[in-house]
């Protein structure tokens, strides 16, 4: 083979490779090893409904097609399912998890506001919860004279001094994380319940 022939062959090879790169309309060219581009595990938010996509997986013996990253068993080929009808979100107001640090009570007092309005019903619920979780130490009227409080000592009255001025966010924070010898109640009462208790504590703060 002389040099001229080799150049011809190279030229043809170059022509073929350029031709194969041609993209047209939506066709982006032939994919080589598609599972290098497309995730094999399902991606939660993926929903591919075009049956012509991912044909590379369609050569199964049972003749069923599978499009990559698309779940043919779920409605609309979605990977995640819709929430079951009539299920209720974890908490009514859709809070994110409470992330204010235990030692940042004053900060909580500045940035948090009670999302639950002060209605007679809310206050009644707050009072019931208060009598379950707080009365033992803080006393029915928040004087720090509950049966446990009398022995436990150091339980402040809500309507005196610094505690009288505590903003709602800080009360919420205290219930969540506790303070000093008062233990945290975050695992005992839900976020909504804490805000309802806070409404009631505010009433006790404002008594003379």
Residue ranges in contact with ligand HEC by CB under 6 A: 133-134, 136-138, 148, 152, 154-156, 163, 166, 171, 174-175, 179-182, 185, 197, 201
Q: Are 42 and 69 in contact (CB under 8 A)?
A: yes
- Span between the terminal Cα atoms of the chain, in Å: 110
User: C-beta of 132: minimal distance to ligand HEC in Å?
Assistant: 8
Distance from C-alpha of 194 to C-alpha of 186, rounded to nearest angstrom: 8
User: C-beta of 120: minimal distance to ligand HEC in Å?
Assistant: 19
Residue whose CB is less far from ligand HEC, 57 or 134: 134
Q: Are 202 and 194 in contact (CB under 8 A)?
A: no
Number of other CB atoms surrounding residue 173 within 10 Å:
27
User: C-beta of 130: minimal distance to ligand HEC in Å?
Assistant: 6
35 Cβ partners below 8 Å, 6+ apart?
A: 68
Residue whose CB is less far from ligand HEC, 57 or 137: 137
User: C-beta of 167: minimal distance to ligand HEC in Å?
Assistant: 10
Residue whose CB is less far from ligand HEC, 127 or 185: 185
User: C-beta of 184: minimal distance to ligand HEC in Å?
Assistant: 10
Residue of this chain nearest to ligand HEC (CB atom): 180
Distance from C-alpha of 195 to C-alpha of 113, rounded to nearest angstrom: 9
Residue whose CB is less far from ligand HEC, 13 or 132: 132
């Amino acid at each position: 083979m002389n040099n001229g022939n080799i150049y011809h062959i190279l030229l043809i090879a170059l022509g073929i490779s350029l031709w194969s790169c041609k993209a047209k309309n939506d066709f982006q060219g032939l994919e080589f090893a598609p599972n290098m581009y497309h995730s094999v595990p399902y991606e939660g938010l993926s929903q591919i409904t075009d049956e012509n996509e991912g044909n590379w997986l369609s050569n199964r013996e049972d003749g069923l097609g599978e499009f990559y990253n698309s779940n043919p068993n779920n409605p609309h080929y979605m990977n995640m399912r819709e929430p079951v009808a009539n299920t209720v979100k974890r908490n009514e107001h859709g809070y994110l998890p409470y992330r204010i640090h235990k030692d940042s009570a004053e900060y909580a007092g500045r940035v948090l506001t009670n999302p639950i309005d002060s209605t007679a019903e809310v206050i009644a619920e707050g009072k019931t919860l208060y009598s379950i979780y707080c009365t033992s130490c803080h006393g029915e009227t928040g004087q720090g004279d509950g049966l446990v409080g009398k022995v436990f000592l150091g339980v402040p009255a809500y309507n005196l001094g610094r505690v009288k001025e505590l903003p709602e966010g800080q009360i919420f924070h205290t219930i969540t994380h506790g303070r000093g010898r008062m233990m945290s109640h975050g695992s005992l009462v839900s976020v909504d319940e804490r805000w309802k208790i806070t409404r009631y504590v505010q009433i006790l703060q404002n008594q003379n």
